[in-house]
């Protein structure tokens, strides 16, 4: 004897679709926050890596090196800095005025993260020991000067330009006078139990 198999009725199907839609709507804010946090972390990690590469180039070549933001897409060392630049150049400075310059690396600061804004100095210079160095805009040759930051720290911040959820991370990249480069979370103070937090900005840096 054949048995009839009962399928979904139209009403049951509509209920299933409504439930799926409701669950998707509830999950969307969490997905946006997760995506924004992932972009923030990747941008901060890239900035940390780029600064370390500029630092390593200064030590390797035993020359002064400038890392700067730009909007130019060339990579010759003749690019000019831009405060809101979305690209970067690592440039080895000449030994003498008018000497040859070279760009050892160029790239996109916001690669795959167009909704992230980076704040901080337009240019950072390193001496032959890989430590931050103050140079005039004439010495850098990129149109802006390099400073050693405030209270012995150079700080880059990363913020989302579209999402404003309370769960978004506030990430920073710190560079100290001693040459230490680290990524940290601004809203958490570093301690033995919170190694990814940022140091107290009012304390004297130890390195």
Q: What is the pLDDT of residue 141?
A: 92
d(CA 111, CA 96): 35
Per-residue pLDDT of the chain (207 residues; tens, 9 = 90+): 555 556 667 777 777 777 777 776 665 566 777 777 888 888 999 999 999 999 999 999 999 999 999 999 999 989 999 998 999 999 999 887 667 788 999 999 887 677 788 999 999 999 999 999 999 999 999 999 999 988 889 999 988 877 565 677 889 999 999 999 999 988 888 887 888 888 877 655 554
d(CA 184, CA 173): 6
Q: What is the pLDDT of residue 91?
A: 96
- Cβ(69)–Cβ(82) under 8 Å? yes
- What DSSP string describes 100-161? --EEEEEEETTTT-TTEEEES-SEEEE-TTS-EE-B-HHHHSSSS-B---BTTEEEEEEEES
> Edge-to-edge, what's the strand order for the sheet holding 197-198?
116-119, 153-160, 171-176, 181-189, 197-198
d(CA 206, CA 195): 16
> CA 104 → CA 28, 37, 140, 176, distances in Å?
42, 30, 15, 23
- Cβ(88)–Cβ(70) under 8 Å? yes
Place of tokens 């032959």: 128
Q: What is the pLDDT of residue 113?
A: 73
């Amino acid at each position: 004897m054949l048995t009839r198999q009962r399928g979904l009725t139209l009403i049951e199907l509509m209920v299933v679709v409504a439930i799926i839609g409701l669950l998707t709507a509830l999950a969307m804010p969490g997905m946006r926050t997760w995506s924004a946090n992932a972009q923030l972390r990747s941008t901060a990690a890239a900035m940390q890596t780029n600064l370390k590469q500029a630092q390593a180039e200064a030590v390797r070549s035993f020359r002064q090196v400038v890392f700067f933001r730009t909007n130019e897409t060339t990579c010759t060392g003749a690019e000019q800095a831009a405060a809101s630049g979305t690209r970067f150049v690592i440039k080895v400075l000449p030994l003498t005025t008018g000497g040859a310059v070279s760009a050892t690396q160029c790239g996109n600061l916001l690669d795959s993260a167009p909704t992230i804004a980076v704040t901080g100095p337009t240019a950072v210079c390193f001496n032959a020991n890989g430590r931050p160095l103050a140079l005039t805009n004439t010495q850098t040759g990129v149109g802006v000067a390099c400073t050693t930051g405030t209270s012995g720290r150079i700080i880059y911040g990363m913020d989302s330009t579209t999402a404003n959820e309370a769960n978004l991370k506030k990430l920073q990249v710190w560079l100290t006078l001693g040459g230490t480069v680290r990524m940290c979370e601004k809203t958490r103070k570093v301690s033995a139990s919170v190694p990814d937090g940022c140091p107290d900005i009012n304390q004297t840096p130890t390195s």
